[in-house]
Amino acid sequence: MTSCSVTAIVKETKPNLAVLEEPKNTVAVVNIGTQGREGPAGTGDKYYKYTQGSASAEWKIIHNLNKNPSITVQDSANDNVEGFCEYLNSNELVLTFSAAFSGVAYLN
């Protein structure tokens, strides 16, 4: 188990902050045991990038990840967008939005 503590005392000035004391860093390491053996090489987590080229309020995505992935959606201006997700099975889902737009969905 490790713990870390960082302390800084600041005084608010407008519009900047001034540091009155230097930060004091403290790190404590407890219960150092013997290192275990190295595990097998992994392949990392599966991911899929889906591009919706034409504006649509409903995106059907076949990702073949064999899981219900987390999803981040960005419109063509790179702004994050929220919508509703329905997982059809472990390889397909439908995203529904309040307005039609094009963009990218990152599934992980």
Task: Give CA–CA dist 17/19, Å, rounded.
Answer: 7
DSSP one-letter string for 42-55: P-----EEEEEEEE
What are the residues whose beta carbons fall under 8 Å from the beta carbon of 33, sequence distance 6 or more? none
60 in a domain, yes or no? yes
**More confidently predicted of 2 and 63:** 63
Would residue 58 count as lying in a domain?
yes
Provide mean pLDDT across the span 91-101: 97
Q: Does some domain include residue 99?
A: yes
Domain count, the chain: 1
Q: Does the residue 82 lie in any domain? A: yes
* 18 part of a folded domain: no
Model confidence at 20, pLDDT cuts 50, 70, 90, reads: low
Q: List the domain range (segments joined by +) for residue 87.
A: 48-107
Whether the Cβ atoms of residue 96 and residue 87 lie closer than 8 Å to each other: no
Cα separation, 46 vs 48, in Å, equals: 7
Q: Per-residue pLDDT averaged across 29-58, rounded?
A: 81
Q: Residue 54 domain-assigned? A: yes
Confidence check: pLDDT of 107 > 90: yes
Task: Give the 3-state DSSP-derived string for 20-43, with helices as H, strands as E and coil as C.
Answer: CCCCEEEEEECCCCCCCCCCCCCC
Q: What does the pLDDT read at residue 3? A: 40
| Tokens describing residue 93 | 């889902």
In a domain, residue 68? The reply is yes
Q: Is residue 63 part of a domain?
A: yes
